[in-house]
Amino acid sequence: MTKLSSMIAVTALALGLGSCDNTALAYGDANSIIAVMRPELWEEVSEEVYSALEQTIRTVRNEKTFTVTYQDPSGDYWGDLRRFRQMLLIGTLADSWIQEALDGENEDPSMTRPGIHQVGDVWARGQQVTLILLPDGEGVGELTLYLAEVHELLDEQFRTYALNRMYMSGADTALADTLAIEAGFSLILPAVYRWNQSDSVFLFRNDNPDPSELIRQIGVTWKTPIPSAIQQETVLEWRSELVAGHYSEPQDHALENVSSGPIEHLGNNGYQVQAEWRNPPDRGWPAGGVFITRVIVCENQNRSYLLDSWFYAPGKEKYEYMIQLETILDSFQCGSA
């Protein structure tokens, strides 16, 4: 079954073929984009659309941040695919699908000017429609610039979506206060995370709803005095010590696609390593995922902190979990801060 046919089949089950009012909930993933324009324009600009919107990041593989599916607005499936959650419409004011999307926005003259616009709930509830409104004559030469801006806009909105989902249980500010008072550092974690302490090692874990399907974990510890030099090798050695002494399962480092280098965090110097972990072959079952490990130097405490984050999400798109881990790491504060 082709990708488009699969989407139509699932949409038919979820929304009910033949229903055409916008009271139905929008369908589809937040990072799945239905691109809509005339076929001859798509033939001309499709490569630019894919290049701009289907950018990749490295997780356990090169993973697209968004996936794009083209739809002809005069095609057989338009009545169903127009109810997807994330729509990108490209055309002029003369195009009927552009007119439909802008219906009800006529009182705002800025919505009819060439450029990028967004409207919601056009053909379904919970839907976001992004329009690239071209001037008469299409102005295809400007489309590349518009597409770069659209990717930046949608990526920012997807990050907000990922954080809202992560903190749906609430931000555990009470835990952050407790950590600051008793341990000298703080993190802003979702309230659903469990945590435990063993001397100067703190582990924070979320394995809901099922650890065989999804695990996110952060470990924090520190050393005094501050080492004279921090490099990839020293970070990985420290991480290996943490894994061996405190993690429930061993993890080997897979460094084929490692990314590392110095960072600065809230005025503190540090070093970050991002790579993949895998369980050893003798465990009898394959498992792996991404880890992001940082060492942050807090001069005012004479401490160097190790912040180790990793997740296990087999068969799932992983960009959202990367955003979650990075956000938790970014919330780290030490000392009087």
Give the domain ranges of the chain. 3-165, 170-334
Nearest-Å Rg of the Cα atoms of the chain is: 24
Work out the pLDDT band at 22, boundaries 50, 70, 90: low
| Average confidence score pLDDT of the chain | 90
Work out the pLDDT band at 112, boundaries 50, 70, 90: confident
Helix (H), strand (E) at residue 3: helix 3-15
Mean pLDDT of 247-265: 95
Mean pLDDT of 306-335: 95
- Kindly report, residue by residue over 160-186, the tens digit of the pLDDT: 999 999 999 999 999 999 999 999 999
Answer yes or no: are the C-beta atoms of 84 and 26 closer than 8 Å.
Answer: yes
Give CATH superfamily name and number for 170-334. Mog1/PsbP, alpha/beta/alpha sandwich (3.40.1000.10)
CA 115 to each of CA 45, 95, 202, 334: distance values in angstroms, whole numbers, following the listed order: 17, 15, 49, 44
- Kindly report, residue by residue over 270-310, the tens digit of the pLDDT: 999 999 999 998 887 889 999 999 999 999 999 999 999 99
Residue 207 burial (CB count, 10 A): 16
More confident residue, 189 or 6: 189
Mean pLDDT of 297-324: 95
pTM of the prediction?
Answer: 0.86
pLDDT of residue 13 exceeding 70, the answer is no
Could you tell me the maximum CA-CA distance found in the chain, to the nearest angstrom?
69
pLDDT of residue 258 exceeding 50, the answer is yes
How many angstroms from the chain centroid is the CA of residue 145?
A: 23
Q: Which CATH architecture has domain 3-165?
A: 2-Layer Sandwich (3.30)
Q: What is the pLDDT of residue 109?
A: 79
Q: What is the pLDDT of residue 138?
A: 64
More confident residue, 27 or 9: 27
Q: What is the pLDDT of residue 81?
A: 86
